[in-house]
Amino acid sequence: MSNTKTLRNWSLTFIAIASLGYGLYYFKSSEISAQASQAMPEYPEPVDVALALMLDYKDQVTVPAEVVAPDAIVLTNELAGTVRALNLKNGNLVTKGELLLQLDISEETASLNTAKAKTKLAATELKRTQSLQKRQLVAAEALDRAEAELAINLAEVDRIQAIIAKKTVYAPFDGVLGLHDLSVGEYLPANSQITSLVAAQTHLWIDVSLSQQQSQNLTNDEVELILTDKQASGQAVFAKIIAKNPLIDKQTRSVKYRALFKQSPDVNLIPGAFIEVNVKQGEAISMIRLPKQAILRQQAARYVYVLQPESEGLYRVQRRDIDLFQENGEYSYIKGGLTEGEQVVTAGAFKLYPNKLVNIRQVADNGSSANASSAKE
């Protein structure tokens, strides 16, 4: 029994010592943690933000289109012949009426001189006959023959001049020449392609083909051109629809539209190029627009981080699940989950977590009022 009592006393002593040690450890740990907290303040994460912009959004489809020059032709020769004069300089500007190519017309020139001499003689004969007829020294039949002879010779002059004109190529308008591979002395068959000529224009045409369904849903009179940075320096470019083909193409079952694009020094479009355009469809729906990089994904969920004021210049981020409607190459369109004017994190959102302290590095461009109005109808 004495041994049992001794064991119990030692047990109580050990428990008392352990409790005291744990109390000292807890006290010191709390003190160290408090000191560490004071020594390591929470630093804000710099982020870019954008304001949630409300606008009237229309669904759109992306379709191919062709750039067309209003005045662009391929120069050809109507008649065959040998090249005697060549004034074609690749890529040069030419003016209306400038001689570009002359085929051999030596035979026609000789025939023309003969016809002109005969015409002069016929005119003299007519004048003499008219004088004699006034004095009734010749019959009326002689006068008729003289008049007919003059008319025949004049017609022959016109015929030869027409042949010469068909063997001579002039610039029909001011423009830029294309490339060619002709040489003086080369024989050209009739209707050979010589080179292209494109007029210097203040505008271009954008030809777009839409399916029957897309044509029925078309509600805008503009199309947005999708261009590379080299073509348009990243700016939004629009063309206004000016005409519609009244017939549906039998092969493709599509309807062709023509849009007018006014030339700009900042936009580089070449006639004949194929591009893509965005075409608005259906009725407008109120949407929130954000830069595409603001949207984060977690399995099927889509969410953003919204700023909540903490103190002057500092914010806490709050996760906000959203109803994403559609995205394009630059923007996301949101049906629900956000309110217009809320500040949403864009660049840097991927490294955040709820309640994280942040500050604003810069406000990202979410489209100016001008851009927003272009989406409204």
Q: What is the CATH number of domain 60-69+203-283?
A: 2.40.30.170
pLDDT for 66: 92
| pLDDT at res. 371 | 41
Max distance between CA atoms of the chain, in angstroms, equals 183
What's the pLDDT at 95? 92
Model pLDDT, residue 31: 67
Q: What's the CATH number for 45-57+286-360?
A: 2.40.420.20
> What is the spatial distance between Cα 371 and Cα 289, in angstroms, rounded to a whole number?
11
SS3 at position 272: coil
- Going along 152-273, which residue ranges are E strands? 168-170, 175-177, 187-188, 193-198, 203-211, 218-226, 237-244, 254-262
Contact 87, 101 (CB under 8 A): yes
Looking up tokens 């001011």 gives 174
The full set of domain ranges for the chain reads: 45-57+286-360, 60-69+203-283, 72-199
Which pLDDT score is estimated for 191? 92
3-state helix, strand, coil in the chain (%, to 5): 30, 40, 30
The C-alpha torsion from 36 through 39 and 40 to 43, rounded to 10°, is 150
135 C-beta neighbours (distance < 10 Å), count: 7
Residue 104's closest CA among 82, 88, 85? Answer: 82
For the whole prediction, is pTM greater than 0.75? Answer: no
Which structure tokens are listed for 20?
């005291």
Q: Kindly give the confidence (pLDDT) of every residue in the chain, 377 residues in length, as a single tens digit, with 9 standing for 90 and above.
A: 556 666 666 666 777 777 776 666 666 666 666 555 555 677 888 888 888 888 887 777 888 999 999 989 999 999 999 999 999 989 899 999 999 999 999 999 999 999 999 999 999 998 988 888 888 887 888 888 888 999 999 999 999 999 999 999 999 999 999 999 999 999 999 999 999 999 888 889 999 998 888 888 887 788 888 887 677 666 778 889 889 999 988 888 899 999 999 888 888 888 888 988 888 877 778 888 888 888 888 888 889 899 888 888 888 888 989 888 877 777 888 888 888 888 898 888 888 888 888 888 888 776 644 343 333 33
72-199 CATH: 2.40.50.100
